Structure 1
């Protein structure tokens, strides 16, 4: 069974940019193809660190302090807590949107 990662994003961002979604899906297709890396566990400190270091700092180029970035990750986690899955694409989209960095994926 394949997961509809775009539908997953649209649960939290109904007006998500289709071009950005397709480009993000293409960029993260390999990560999303593995069950252990396709989801984000907000309760795992190492996972939150990976999102902060690899996505927010490296991919988005953010230079905010770790406390600010961790608060953003926590905020996205709170927004998604109603779901049973925390898809990586949705987490990344919401974080990029929060920091005004969606254009990096156009």
Structure 2
């Protein structure tokens, strides 16, 4: 991959676990290779619903209410609000970290 996805994550989580990052890269390599899917738009309600349903609920197995999960996504969006594109890998890493689920990707 030509894009340095790991550097994107480390912008927000400087001490990110390398083993977790490598595992996430393996899991989401195809997604990250698609320009439309590689980034998360925090202003797109359908996109945020996809993050909640497909990543938080299905992948991470979280059972919190939709409102609580949506609030967590919003919190990560605020943390990443620096004018750059929001890489899906960074969003997913920060959410997995928030919910204590990073070990799933080792």
How far 1:79 sits from its partner (Å)? 0.3
Unaligned runs of 5+ in 1: none
User: Structure 1 stretches (4+) deviating beyond 3 angstroms?
Assistant: none
Question: TM-score, normalised to structure 1's length?
Answer: 0.98
Aligned pair 1:50/2:50, yes or no? yes
Give the distance between the partners of 1:95 and 1:72, measured in 2 at CA. Answer: 7
Question: TM-score, normalised to structure 2's length?
Answer: 0.98
Give the distance between the partners of 1:42 and 1:102, measured in 2 at CA. Answer: 22
Alpha-carbon RMSD: 0.9
Equivalent residue number for residue 70 of structure 2: 70
Give the distance between the partners of 2:26 and 2:17, measured in 1 at CA. Answer: 14
Unaligned runs of 5+ in 2: none
* Number of matched pairs: 106
